[in-house]
Amino acid sequence: MEGEVTSIVSRIRIVLPVVALGLLLSACGYNTIPTLEEQAKARWADVQNQYQRRSDLIPNLVATVQGYAAQEKNVLTAVVEARAKATQIKLDASDLTDPDKLKAFQDAQNQLTGVLGRLLAVTENYPDLKSNANFLALQSQLEGTENRIAVARRDYIDAVRAYNTALRTFPTVLWAKTAFSANKPMAEFTANESAQTPPQVKF
């Protein structure tokens, strides 16, 4: 009986410091940096998902417009080319610390946004197109997607700011300089004023 009590006490002596260390680490911000990093990566995945959604809508939009406005070939070609360029630039979570790669991604997406705006402006000249049910559905989906892109970008910016702040502020800066010294600040998604405004898709 006494041997069992001694065995239990020795187990408690082994387990108790491990539990205490775990509580201490969680209370002092050790988990903050990896948690915020994963949140920022998840927000970036949302941004990419919304851009992919927009990219998937474009072939149908171009085909619909082409049926009514084939003479607008230069605008249609520009949209197709901009979409191709935007989908070629891939940016995964490991690239988020490289501002140049993020800027290249942004520039390609901004170019696509611009030519989409031109395409939608051209459709003003085609009343039959504007009343086409397929076009109206695509227009509505595109408008919703542009709004989702704006929200996803905003959420990503907020998540990156929280992560970058954790790398520089006490007490998490202690972990950033030791256990997470390989972690670099992530590049923020910045866009000019015109890129922040979704293209006008209401007629």
- pLDDT, tens digit, for every residue of 115-148? 999 998 888 889 889 889 999 999 999 999 999 9
φ and ψ at 198, to 5 degrees?
A: -60, 150
Cβ atoms 64, 58 nearer than 8 A: no
How far apart are the C-alpha atoms of 54 and 146, rounded to whole Å?
A: 8
Q: Positive or negative, the Cα torsion across 27, 30, 36, 42?
A: negative
Rounded to a whole number, what is the distance in angstroms from the first to the last CA of the chain?
A: 86
Peptide bond into 171 cis (omega under 30): yes
Runs of H (alpha helix) within 28-132: 32-68, 73-88, 99-122, 127-130
Is 1.10.1740.10 the CATH classification of the domain at 31-196? no
The owner of tokens 């989906």 is 141
Is the whole-model pTM more than 0.85?
A: no
- Residue 83: what pLDDT? 95
Q: Kindly give, in sequence order, each residue whose CB lies less than 8 Å from that of residue 61, ignoring residues fewer than 6 positions away.
A: 79, 119, 135, 138, 142
- Residue 1: what pLDDT? 59
Q: Which residues of the chain have pLDDT under 50?
A: 19, 23, 25-26, 201-203
- Residue 131: what pLDDT? 86
- Residue 59: what pLDDT? 95
Domain boundaries, the chain: 1-30, 31-196
How far apart are the C-alpha atoms of 37 and 61, rounded to whole Å?
A: 36
Degrees to nearest 5, angle at CA 43 with 82 and 85: 10
- Residue 76: what pLDDT? 93
- Residue 88: what pLDDT? 94
- Residue 203: what pLDDT? 33
Going from the C-alpha of 167 to that of each of 27, 48, 107, 113, 179, the distances in angstroms are 17, 25, 28, 34, 11
- Residue 99: what pLDDT? 93
Degrees to nearest 5, angle at CA 128 with 125 and 132: 120
